[in-house]
DNA sequence: CTGAAAGCGCTAACAA
DNA sequence: TTGTTAGCGCTTTCAG
């Protein structure tokens, strides 16, 4: 039934005995304003279906300067937070009848630049940049290319940005941890993981400090170990810490889920009593975390909200370089009997 | 420095005092075979950089009938297994200098069809279909459109497919569970989760049965509860099971990570002794799972290998409808002291 | 209500 | 070593 070679509007035009432009209009919906008779439209549509016609969006894009492609730069897919972002982006993009193009760039400056350039070559209609390591340069590239863009998670000086309220989240988590501690052990809390040069980590450290201040404590620099976002480095950093101070601190603020996994790798090797005596919290959410017997308060970033607001900027053609804060939620541990 | 409006090869041609086709050749690499002097090329490249020229890949694609877009249909991003698949696909696609377009379709028949059609409209060069609910129809659509394609995780009758060796994996996991059980409790193992209508689940059930047979047991139908892949349904199914049999079985084979999370939700509410007495295993891997105090053998599917082999079929233009099996690995629990 | 013609930016023969 | 000429398949005036 279906034709073997790709059909074009010309083929259909011939078959229907009309002109190509009529077919084009009939098939892309503009027939209404072109006042083409419902009859011809029906006939054309029927033939199109019969021969299995599909538009060539490349051609349409070339002509109309809109591709229907929305790009996203993402550090990685295989991470709970970022994959949620990707999922939300996919969903939102779909409702706009467009196609999501997600490129993962491992927080690598060169890969990011290359990816943005690539997406520009493909004439994406807009770009969302998540957790990039070098926002300002990337923003500049987008602006030069006249490409609507918005930053998520890691803000950019010169473009609209949507970011979790990291400071507030860190404050809440720190409070929760301090509440679990004995009063006299307050000074003994530590901050583990993340990259102090990045906006997110920086603000979380600030929130951490502020919360301590509320408890009349000044955080020493040694209490903050920003060992990166990696799993293994965090495990090793914690091991080293444990050795040098001959034991765990009374509380542990772990920055990000990857670091949490690393920390757990080390912690599971310790005697249970030692770990039980330490309050542990994580800035990021994983359902498994809250299924551990040890109670773990966790901060969940609202991926859906972040993406929704970011898209709002794009929809409204907003290029104002202002930052929107999204409040993350503190998830308190449930009581676990088994496991 | 940079021009404000989008530059074309014509603009550059004018600026360089050469023809557009020379510019085209100079910029896309074909200048070598067209024997254009290195000098002119250099001059053109320089000008191009100066004015901030970028190719319009839409135009190139229209002309050359290759878009450099590779599509993937994926059930979801926010799932450990599928996001790994997405990550591997991204990586592999990048090395081919192409752009990955991943569309998530929630295992929904209509969304899948729509997504495939959409990708065809965008003239993707090839398509990888992962865990689709309706492979045969989708394969048919691709074939009609002359679109090279390959199935992953869920195979298709009429196209190359790369799939985990589910039966073997299930066998290994079942053995591991039985080994942990008291000898007399062997008959009391249960299979929980998945969709029996899907290839993967079906084969896992087969492997489960075969392993039991090795222990001279015939699995009763009541021992198999394929309650879907959902988290909540699994939790509820397990709760119901617990009620009706007044306790946990002696062993639990949990099919897929989402089901595992659901099961945990219920299990964490039980008294520890009861759960401790039950051997639990999961067909899917999550690092947190192996960090639970309760030892959980897990089966890890080789996402990297699945994608690599799938790409191999595409690279080799292989359309032979044959199935490649990838052996998953059994990850035995480590000894956990704390948490 | 419909058709003709131009052109989006690029590539690929074929000339020169 | 380079330029000329046709399109790729579609949208979009402008005429009928």
Place of tokens 């041609």: B13
CATH number at residue A250: 3.40.50.2300
* Mutation for A interface: B122, B252, B285, B287, most A CBs within 10 A: B122
In percent, the amount of chain B with pLDDT more than 70 equals 96
Tell me, yes or no, whether B312 lies in a domain: no
Q: Which residue has the tokens 């930053």?
A: A151
pLDDT in the model for residue B194: 95
Contacts of A146 in chain B (CB under 8 A): 4, 6
Q: Are residues A85 and A57 in the same domain?
A: no
Please tell me the distance in Å from B209's CA to the nearest CA on chain A: 27
Alpha carbon separation from B242 to B166, B190, B250 (Å, rounded): 27, 12, 12
What pLDDT score was predicted for residue B339? 67
Which residue's CA shows the smallest distance to C1' of C6? A63
Q: Is the CB of A268 under 7 A from strand D?
A: no
Q: What is the pLDDT of residue A72?
A: 98
Per-residue confidence band for B1, with pLDDT thresholds at 50, 70 and 90: very low
| CATH number for position B24 | 1.10.260
DSSP string, B178-245: HHHS-GGGGGGEEEE-B-TTSHHHHHHHHHHHHHHHHTT----GGGEE--BS-HHHHHHHHHHHHHHH
In this structure, is the CB of residue B59 within 7 Å of any atom belonging to strand D? yes
Whether B52 and B115 map to the same domain: the answer is no
Share of residues in chain A with pLDDT > 70 (%)? 96
For residue range A103-153, list pLDDT tens digits in order: 999 999 999 999 999 999 999 999 999 999 999 999 999 999 999 999 999
Inter-chain touch B77–A83, beta carbons under 8 Å = yes
A66 CA: nearest nucleotide by C1': C8
Choice among A214-223, A308-317, B164-173 with the minimum mean pLDDT: A214-223
Residue A335 has what pLDDT? 75
A254 CB neighbours in chain B (<8 A) are: none
Q: Extract the tokens encoding B77.
A: 């991003």
Residue B4 lies in a domain: no
* pLDDT(A316) > 80: yes
CA distance B233 to B239: 10
Give the count of domains, chain A.
3
Residue B34 beta carbon within 7 A of nucleic strand D: yes
* Nearest in space to B248 (alpha carbons), one of B218, B272, B217, B220: B272
Q: Which of residues 53-72 of A touch strand D (CB under 7 A)?
A: 55-56, 59-60, 62-64
**CA B179 / C1′ C10 distance in Å:** 65
* A:B CB pairs within 8 Å: 186
Query: Residue at minimal CA–C1' distance from C5?
Result: A21
Q: How far apart are CA A125 and CA A65, in angstroms?
A: 9
Instruction: Considering only CA atoms, name the residue closest to the C1' of nucleotide D7.
Output: B63
Identify whether A84 is part of a domain: yes
Contacting residues for B273 by C-beta, under 8 A, at least 6 apart: none
Q: pLDDT tens, B233-262? A: 999 999 999 999 999 999 999 999 999 999
- Does any CB of chain A come closer than 8 Å to the CB of residue B95? no
Least Cα distance to B1 among A144, A134, A118, A139 occurs for A144
At A57, list the tokens: 């969006």
pLDDT at A289: 85
With tokens 């062997």, the residue in question is B186
Tokens 């901050």 -> residue: A191
From A103, A124, A159, give the residue that closes a domain. A159
pLDDT above 90 covers a percentage of chain A that reads 83
Spell out the alpha helix ranges (H) of A29-154: 38-51, 57-64, 80-95, 109-121, 135-144
Q: Spell out the residues 6+ positions from residue A316 whose beta carbon is closer than 8 angstroms to its own.
A: none
Q: Could you tell me the residue range of the domain that residue A51 belongs to? A: 9-61
How far apart CA A310 and CA A128 sit, in angstroms, is 8
pLDDT in tens, A154-198: 999 999 999 999 999 999 999 999 988 876 666 789 999 999 999
Helix (H, G, I), strand (E, B) or coil at B34: coil
> Which domain-ending residue is among A38, A61, A84?
A61
| Å: A211 CA to D4 C1' | 73
| B8 vs A336: CA distance, rounded Å | 64
Domain boundary among A136, A159, A182: A159
Are B54 and A103 a contacting pair at CB < 8 A? no
Q: Quick count: other Cβ atoms within 10 Å of Cβ A305?
A: 16
Alpha-carbon gap, residue B196 to B183, rounded angstroms: 28
Nearest to B114 by CA among A216, A250, A54, A268: A54
Closest nucleotide to A54, Cα to C1': D9
pLDDT of residue B183: 65
Structure-model confidence comparison of residues B181 and B186, the more confident one: B181
Same domain, A173 and A290: yes
pLDDT tens digits, one per residue of A248-300: 999 999 999 999 999 999 998 899 899 989 999 999 999 888 888 889 999 99
B145 and B254 housed in the same domain: no
Q: Dihedral (C-alpha) A275, A277, A283, A284: value to the nearest 10 degrees?
A: 50
Whether residue B88 is contained in a domain is answered as: yes
Residue B151 lies in a domain: yes
Give the side-chain half-sphere CA count within 13 A for B299: 27
Does A4 score more than 80 pLDDT? no
Same domain, A194 and A153: no
Helix (H, G, I), strand (E, B) or coil at B72: strand
pLDDT of res. B17: 92
Q: β-strands A126-130, A69-74: how paired?
A: parallel
The beta-carbon neighbor of A337 closest among B57, B123, B271 is: B271
A28 touches strand D (CB under 7 A): yes
Cα A187 from chain centroid (whole Å)? 34
| Whether pLDDT at B113 is above 70 | yes
| Residues B81 and B112 placed together within one structural domain of the fold | yes
B191: Cβ–Cβ under 8 A, 6 or more apart, which residues? B204, B205, B208, B219, B223, B224, B225, B226, B253, B255
CA distance linking residue B89 with residue B95, whole number of Å:
10
CB of B62 lies under 7 Å from some atom of strand D: yes
Cα(B248)–Cα(B279) distance, integer angstroms:
10
B276 interface with A at CB cutoff 8 Å: yes
Q: CA distances (Å), A38 to each of A22, A30, A49, in order?
A: 12, 12, 16
Is A128 in the same domain as A199?
no
The most distant pair of C-alpha atoms in chain B lies apart, rounded to whole Å, by: 89
- CB atoms A56 and B272 under 8 Å: no
Residue A256 CB neighbour total at 10 angstroms: 26
Which position has the token pair 């990297």?
Answer: B304
Which nucleotide's C1' sits nearest to the alpha carbon of A60? D10
- Close Cβ partners of B114 (under 8 Å, ≥ 6 residues apart): none
Distance CA B114, CA B91 (A): 26
Question: B309: number of CA atoms within 13 Å, CB side?
Answer: 18
The answer as to whether A285 is a domain residue is yes
- Which of A202, A211, A196, A168 has its CA nearest to residue A299? A168
Pair B183, B278 in one domain = yes
CA A316 to chain centre: 20
Question: Alpha-carbon distance B125 to B212, whole Å?
Answer: 45
Strands B126-130, B99-104: pairing kind: unpaired
Whether B105 and B40 share a structural domain: no
Residue B318 lies in a domain: no
H-assigned helices in A159-250:
166-180, 199-214, 231-244
In a domain, B213, yes or no: yes
Contacts of residue A100, defined as CB under 8 A and 6 or more positions apart, other chains included, come to: A70, A72, A89, A90, A93, A94, B101, B102, B103
The pLDDT value given to residue B176: 94
B73 and B57 co-located in one domain: no
CA–CA distance, B221 with B97 (Å, rounded to integer): 50
Give the separation between CA B231 and CA B257, rounded to whole angstroms. 9
B8 to chain A, any CB pair closer than 8 A? The answer is no
Same domain, B173 and B285: yes
Q: Please check whether residue A267 touches B, CB under 8 A.
A: yes
Residues A290 and A174 in one domain: yes
CB-CB under 8 Å, B54 with A120? yes
Task: Please state, in angstroms and rounded to a whole number, the distance separating the CA atoms of residues A174 and A172.
Answer: 5
């Amino acid at each position: 039934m279906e034709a073997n070679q790709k059909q074009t509007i010309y083929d259909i035009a011939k078959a229907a005995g009309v002109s190509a432009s009529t077919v084009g209009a009939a098939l892309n919906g503009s027939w209404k304003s072109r006042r083409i008779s419902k009859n011809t439209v029906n006939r054309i549509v029927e033939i199109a279906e019969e021969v299995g016609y599909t538009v060539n969006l490349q051609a349409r894009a070339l002509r109309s300067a809109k591709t229907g492609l929305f790009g996203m730069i993402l550090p990685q897919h295989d991470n709970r937070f970022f994959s949620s972002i990707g999922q939300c982006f996919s969903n939102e993009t779909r409702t706009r009848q467009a196609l999501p193009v997600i490129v993962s760039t491992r927080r690598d400056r060169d890969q990011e630049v290359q990816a943005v350039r690539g997406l520009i070559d493909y004439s994406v209609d807009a770009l969302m940049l998540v957790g990039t390591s070098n926002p300002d340069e990337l923003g500049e590239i987008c602006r030069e290319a006249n490409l609507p863009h918005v930053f998520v998670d890691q803000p950019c000086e010169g473009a609209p940005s949507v970011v979790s309220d990291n400071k507030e989240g860190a404050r809440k988590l720190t409070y929760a941890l301090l509440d679990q501690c004995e009063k006299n052990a307050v000074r003994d809390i530590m901050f583990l993981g993340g990259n102090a040069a990045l906006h997110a980590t920086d603000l979380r450290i600030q929130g951490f400090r502020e919360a301590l201040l509320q408890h009349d404590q000044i955080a020493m620099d040694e209490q903050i170990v920003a060992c990166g976002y990696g799993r293994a480095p965090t495990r090793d950093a914690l091991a080293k810490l444990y050795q040098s101070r001959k034991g765990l601190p009374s509380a542990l603020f772990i920055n990000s889920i990857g670091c949490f996994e690393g920390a757990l790798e080390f912690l599971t090797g310790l005697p249970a009593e030692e770990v039980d005596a330490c309050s542990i919290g994580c800035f990021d959410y994983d359902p498994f975390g809250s299924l551990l017997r040890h109670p773990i308060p966790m901060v969940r970033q609202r991926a859906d909200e972040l993406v929704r607001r970011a898209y709002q900027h794009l929809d409204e053609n907003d290029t104002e370089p202002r930052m929107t804060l999204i409040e993350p939620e503190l998830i308190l541990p449930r009581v676990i009997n088994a496991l």
